[in-house]
């Protein structure tokens, strides 16, 4: 495998652990050694990472060989790999900018930064000269200008960036766009340590929510004795760190906590702790019967090695991005490795998506999990209301159980939750009308909780003869949807966000409807079971499962006016109760058109096999949103 040439900005404790780790895993078989999240990333082991440039501003480091500089004061982290090969990397003097806090002068030489008397280099030039491919940014907290300076240099030299600092670059839309435009990948922001206070607090927050315990108050107090903690004594430098750590935990909760009820941050500098960081976490909640419960946890870790293994992964993912020509934030690795990624997802979903990216799929999280940042929706593309058909049996999916289909679990959420989230995130739907039938009470309760979690409203209807067909269920919603334009979706059809976005961009004629169709006939899963459509221009001519000669497949998602209900009433009067029966009548009147959504992912989840396919796609996310 070819080498991954990296540059290090900031030769502090984290850099020390990283450089030691590269040698440690070169001399000890990575696959057999503890401490790595991935011993192999698409053929790259840790030993493939080679440092070709390093930047600092401290007089004990600048001008020194890297393998000596990492052990110089004020670095104080554990030495777990003393013997290092001699390299020809000499630490370059960087522009100081806002890298150093004033209060450093008040502390002993051994504990604080001391600026070297040397001319700063041009960072972008050094990156180009050394052939660096990825830069890892280890600036002190609060170094907004310095981090931005390195980001500019990366764009200039077309070098990928791994931003370990809570200065928002990958998660800032303007910076993200600049990296995208330049075709330069970035993984950021603010490295999430292997088992550090953030991941433990996030996981416990989810545990409380998943077990139905209401979390009323929590804190995370951290102490340490390295320069990271010394630097953070200056409150004005702390803002972004506090924000990054707090949002990282908040993002995992069903409902964000009020400002005064959550306190997370570095709390004190205790010199004798050196690089040992101690986190104290307290969580106060209420369980069954509103009975209070408290959790107290003390986590003691060596701070810098705790993050270095994560960086070894992030560097290799950044290199994959470069090799695959992907510019901009790598969403999946950022969500897994960073505290403040562009999109927050549950950690287990982040891991699955990262593994899928490593395996060659998209780096984009096509499906955002609860609490992730939604796609930006233009006003004209918003559809306020959706009708979800959720009355059916699901007997082919669960032949031996009575679990209703909307509650079928797939990739960490239920089908109901995927459909609601996808419509909310893609076309901004806020009001959901759900048809009930089989196991109505269970389905109703579940949708109510999905709606609460997603901050949308839900109303229910049930037709007396829902078993006669999905047209009968749809008709039951006529009153609630009078004079509305709405998306109609089956609860057992899953799709990516691009599908409804494309559907609602097409014009909808008065009294008519549009059906999202897929023209890639050869790629349709379970084509025998698909509902087929013949079309004439944009107009639907015929819709039927049995058509021998057909043009496109029905994806189960429609954009409708209340004209649909008139057509369903006519069909019902003729003794026909399927949704297709209503569509056929609209088609006869020239009021049913198609929208071509070929290329968007969708799946009719009718069988265990389809469920496995959906699981694989949603976990791995093979296509991007919109
Ligand atoms: N587990 C972890 O250690 C962890 C986790 C998350 C985030 N981080 C973040 O990673 C960053 C690095 O942490 P650290 O413990 O290595 O810090 P550190 O204080 O040990 O190292 C910072 C280094 O940056 C150098 N520096 C300052 N200004 C510079 C400039 N303009 N150009 C080049 N170098 C400059 C300093 O001389 C020092 O060597 C911090 O922002 C920290 O909050 C660390």
Which CATH number do you get for residue 227? 3.30.360.10
Is the CB of 554 within 6 Å of ligand 1?
A: no
Top-confidence residue, 191 or 391? 191
Residue 59 lies in a domain: yes
Residue 367 lies in a domain: no
User: Looking at residue 625, what is its pLDDT?
Assistant: 30
Same domain, yes or no: 613 and 479:
yes
User: Looking at residue 612, what is its pLDDT?
Assistant: 80
Q: How far is ligand 1, taken at its centre, from the CA of residue 91, in Å?
A: 15
Is the CB of 304 within 6 Å of ligand 1?
A: yes
Residue 372 lies in a domain: no
In total, how many domains does the chain have? 3
Q: Among 303, 324, 348, which residue terminates a domain?
A: 303
Express each pLDDT in 533-556 by its tens digit.
999 999 999 998 888 899 999 999
Q: How far is ligand 1, taken at its centre, from the CA of residue 397, in Å?
A: 53
CATH number at residue 504: 3.90.550.10
Query: Closest ligand 1 atom to the C-alpha of 17?
Result: 16
Q: Give the residue whose CA is nearest to atom 11 of ligand 1.
A: 138
Q: How far is ligand 1, taken at its centre, from the CA of residue 13, in Å?
A: 7
Model confidence at 624, in pLDDT bands (50, 70, 90)?
very low
Same domain, yes or no: 326 and 424:
no
The mean per-residue pLDDT over the stretch 89-118 comes to 97
Average predicted confidence (pLDDT) for the chain? 91
Residue from 92, 197, 228, 237 to probe ligand 1 pocket by mutation (most atoms less than 8 Å from CB): 228
CATH number at residue 326: 3.40.50.720
Is the CB of 66 within 6 Å of ligand 1?
A: no
User: Looking at residue 395, what is its pLDDT?
Assistant: 65
User: Looking at residue 365, what is its pLDDT?
Assistant: 63
Express each pLDDT in 331-357 by its tens digit.
889 999 999 998 887 887 788 778 878
Q: Give the residue whose CA is nearest to atom 5 of ligand 1.
A: 191
In whole angstroms, how far apart are CA 114 and each of 77, 433, 562? 18, 64, 72
User: Looking at residue 615, what is its pLDDT?
Assistant: 81
Express each pLDDT in 439-455 by its tens digit.
899 899 999 989 998 99
Measured in Å, how far apart are the chain's first and last C-alpha atoms? 35
Nearest-angstrom CA–CA distance, 359 and 487: 35
Same domain, yes or no: 310 and 297:
no
Quick one: how far is CA 428 from the chain centroid? 19
Express each pLDDT in 255-305 by its tens digit.
889 889 999 999 999 999 999 999 999 999 999 999 999 999 999 999 999
Same domain, yes or no: 133 and 249:
no
Same domain, yes or no: 329 and 247:
no
The mean per-residue pLDDT over the stretch 101-127 comes to 97
Nearest-angstrom CA–CA distance, 592 and 539: 6
Residue 489 lies in a domain: yes
Q: How far is ligand 1, taken at its centre, from the CA of residue 93, in Å?
A: 15
Same domain, yes or no: 166 and 204:
no
Is the CB of 94 within 6 Å of ligand 1?
A: yes
Model confidence at 375, in pLDDT bands (50, 70, 90)?
very low
Same domain, yes or no: 329 and 392:
no
Same domain, yes or no: 402 and 262:
no
Boundaries of domain holding 607: 381-620
Same domain, yes or no: 436 and 468:
yes
Same domain, yes or no: 159 and 282:
no
User: Looking at residue 580, what is its pLDDT?
Assistant: 93
Express each pLDDT in 2-46 by its tens digit.
899 999 999 999 999 999 999 999 999 888 888 999 999 999 999
Q: Give the residue whose CA is nearest to atom 22 of ligand 1.
A: 12
Same domain, yes or no: 390 and 340:
no
Is the CB of 139 within 6 Å of ligand 1?
A: yes
Q: Which residues of 213-247 are buried (b: 16+ CB within 10 A; e: fewer)?
A: bebeebbbbbbbbbbbbbbbbeeebbebbbbbbbb
In whole angstroms, how far apart are CA 362 and each of 315, 355, 371, 425, 614? 17, 10, 21, 19, 16
Tokens read off for 57: 């501003």
DSSP 8-class letter at 105: G
pLDDT at 463 over 60: yes
DSSP string, 225-267: -SHHHHHTTSGGGTHHHHHHHHHHHHTTSSSPPPGGGEEEEEE
Nearest-angstrom CA–CA distance, 408 and 398: 9
Same domain, yes or no: 201 and 76:
no
Name the helix (H) or strand (E) containing 388: strand 385-389
Nearest-angstrom CA–CA distance, 298 and 456: 38
The mean per-residue pLDDT over the stretch 190-218 comes to 95
Is the CB of 593 within 6 Å of ligand 1?
A: no
Q: Among 303, 323, 338, which residue terminates a domain?
A: 303
Nearest-angstrom CA–CA distance, 416 and 433: 12
Q: Among 260, 275, 303, which residue terminates a domain?
A: 303
| Alpha-carbon dihedral angle through residues 485, 551, 626, 248, given to the nearest 10 degrees | 90
Tell me whether the omega of the peptide bond preceding residue 531 falls within 30 degrees of 0, making it cis.
Answer: no
Q: How far is ligand 1, taken at its centre, from the CA of residue 138, in Å?
A: 4
Express each pLDDT in 466-524 by its tens digit.
888 999 999 999 999 999 999 999 999 999 888 998 899 888 999 999 999 998 877 77
Q: How far is ligand 1, taken at its centre, from the CA of residue 36, in Å?
A: 22
């Amino acid at each position: 495998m070819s080498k991954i040439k990296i540059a290090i900005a900031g030769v502090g404790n984290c850099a020390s652990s990283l450089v030691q780790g590269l040698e440690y895993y070169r001399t000890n078989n990575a696959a057999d050694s503890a401490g790595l999240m991935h011993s192999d990333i698409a053929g790259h082991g840790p030993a493939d990472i080679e440092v070709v440039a390093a930047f600092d501003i401290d007089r004990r480091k600048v001008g020194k060989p890297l393998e000596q500089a990492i052990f110089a004061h004020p670095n104080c982290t554990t030495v777990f790999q003393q013997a290092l090969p001699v390299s020809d990397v000499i630490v370059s003097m960087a522009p100081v900018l806002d890298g150093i806090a004033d209060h450093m002068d008040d502390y002993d030489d051994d504990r604080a930064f001391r600026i070297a008397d040397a001319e700063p280099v041009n960072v972008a030039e050094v990156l180009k000269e050394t052939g660096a491919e990825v830069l890892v940014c280890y600036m002190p907290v609060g170094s907004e200008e310095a981090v931005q300076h390195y980001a500019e240099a990366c764009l200039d030299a077309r070098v990928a960036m791994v931003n370990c600092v809570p200065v928002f670059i990958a998660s800032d839309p303007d910076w993200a766009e600049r990296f995208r435009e330049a075709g330069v990948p970035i993984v950021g922001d603010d490295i999430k340590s292997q088992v550090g206070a953030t991941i433990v607090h996030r996981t416990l927050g989810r545990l409380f929510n998943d077990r139905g315990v209401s979390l009323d108050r929590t804190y995370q107090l951290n102490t340490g004795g390295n320069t990271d903690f010394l630097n953070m004594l200056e409150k004005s430098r702390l803002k972004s760190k506090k924000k990054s750590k707090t949002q990282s935990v908040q993002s995992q909760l069903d409902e964000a906590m009020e400002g005064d009820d959550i306190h997370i941050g570095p709390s004190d500098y205790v010199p004798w702790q050196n690089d040992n960081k101690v986190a104290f976490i307290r969580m106060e909640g209420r369980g069954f019967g509103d009975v209070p419960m408290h959790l107290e946890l003390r986590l003691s870790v060596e701070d810098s090695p705790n993050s270095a293994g994560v960086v070894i992964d992030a560097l290799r993912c950044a290199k994959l991005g470069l090799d695959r020509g992907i510019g901009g934030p790598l969403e999946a690795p950022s969500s897994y490795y960073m505290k403040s990624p562009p999109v927050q997802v549950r950690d287990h979903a982040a891991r699955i998506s990262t593994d899928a990216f490593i395996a060659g799929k998209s780096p984009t999280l096509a499906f955002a999990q609860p609490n992730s940042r939604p796609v930006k929706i233009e006003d004209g593309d918003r559809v306020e209301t959706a009708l979800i058909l959720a009355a059916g049996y699901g007997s082919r999916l669960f032949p031996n159980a009575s679990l209703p289909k909307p509650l079928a679990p797939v990739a960490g959420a239920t089908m109901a939750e995927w459909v609601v989230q996808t419509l909310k995130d893609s076309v901004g739907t806020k009001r959901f009308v759900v048809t009930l039938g089989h196991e109505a009470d269970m389905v109703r309760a579940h949708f109510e909780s999905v709606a609460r979690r997603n901050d949308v409203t839900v109303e229910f209807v049930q037709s007396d003869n829902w078993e006669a067909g999905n047209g009968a269920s749809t008709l039951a919603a006529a009153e609630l949807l009078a004079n509305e334009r709405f998306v109609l979706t089956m609860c057992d059809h899953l799709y990516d966000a691009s599908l409804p976005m494309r559907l609602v961009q097409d014009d909808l004629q008065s009294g008519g409807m549009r059906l999202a169709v897929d023209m890639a006939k050869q790629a349709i899963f379970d084509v025998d079971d698909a509902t087929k459509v013949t079309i004439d221009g944009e107009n639907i001519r015929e819709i039927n499962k049995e058509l021998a000669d057909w043009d496109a497949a029905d994806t189960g998602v429609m954009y409708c006016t209340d004209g649909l209900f008139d057509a369903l009433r006519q069909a019902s009067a003729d003794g026909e109760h399927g949704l297709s029966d209503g569509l056929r009548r609209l088609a006869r009147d020239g009021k049913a058109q198609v929208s071509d959504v070929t290329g968007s992912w969708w799946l009719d989840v009718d069988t265990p096999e389809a469920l496995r396919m959906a699981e694989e796609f949603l976990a791995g996310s093979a296509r991007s949103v919109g």
